[in-house]
Chains A and B, each alone.
Chain A
């Protein structure tokens, strides 16, 4: 039989079975309200018919080959692990933002302090230049040196905008990563339950290697969080003498 006519026949059977099931269900519902024996017998008979119809319908549902099922779980499992990686990347972005933000703040405060000190020095030098036991050449030299100290400050203050720029760039990477992550979640849902298949050895090795490459405690903490472990490593003292 040609596939087209086979499909048409199956569709026709499905439609008949659907109508029968709906009809049986309707009679059952009506009989449930009739409180006498013949009606109860009718309900039992119709229930049996209903069960047969449902069984028949279930047997018509095509079974997915086992290999395909396993493959889908395999893909879903891989996706889950890619997600762990992307989360790790986002966490690192957050760390970079925090660390650079704190450092930039300290630098800007320091620069402002130096700038104020230079300004004070400049004023004092002008004020007391006549009292200082220096000749004109020395005084000019001293003033030039003070100017030289103060000159790079403005440019350095301008450069501190790097922190804002970096923050935006990392935020953008994070947004991209979330988009990929969202896509992976949807894909994984279509594939089935990832827990059905054991994790891939290769992926495990790669992930373990990534942990070996990390240097800082907070990176390792991020790694554990990405793998789903609520584990915090001991950081140890900031300064330790041996």
Chain B
């Protein structure tokens, strides 16, 4: 079965480029331009196998999204990768405390991204 990845980023460019990179590798891609939209998609029944979220977004930030996801039934253990330009250790610690699965600092090379995603979703 094809794994679904929900990409959350306020940048349309990032969403589209990530969709292409991961889509070419055979994953099914869903997109949301904010944390709120991501949660709405879940309310509508979407159940991704992996979340990839940005940190700095208008409204709900990526770390808050991680907290909200962890508080939801069914998503306590779903992997969440935080992909961000933020390099601050304190923020990274915050994400770790919120129980994010990983932290990738932009720009991430497509090969590195695919390697990490395949590590999390080995069955594609």
Contacts and interface: CB of A to CB of B under 8 A. Distances in A.
Interface residues of A, number: 24
Nearest to A106: B13
Given A105-B12, A165-B106, A165-B107, A157 B85 contact: no
Interface in B10-55: 11-14, 16-17, 20-21, 24, 54
B101 to A, nearest CB: 20
Interface residues of B, number: 20
Interface stretch (B60-68, B73-81, B92-100, B108-116): B108-116
B107 A157 contact: no
Given A109-B16, A163-B11, A157 B110 contact: yes
Contact of A164 (B14, B21, B109, B110): B14
B108 A158 contact: yes
B56 interface: yes
Contacts of A112: 16, 20
Contact of B110 (A101, A109, A158): A158
Given A154-B21, A154-B24, A160 B108 contact: no
A115 B20 contact: yes
Contacts of A23: none
Interface in A163-181: 163-165, 167-169
B13 A160 contact: yes
B11 A165 contact: no
25 contacts: A101-B11, A101-B13, A105-B16, A108-B13, A108-B20, A111-B17, A153-B20, A155-B109, A157-B110, A158-B17, A158-B107, A158-B113, A160-B13, A160-B14, A160-B17, A161-B17, A161-B108, A162-B107, A163-B11, A164-B9, A164-B13, A164-B14, A164-B85, A165-B107, A167-B11
Contacts of A169: 85
A162 B13 CA distance: 10
Given A157-B110, A158-B113, A164 B11 contact: yes
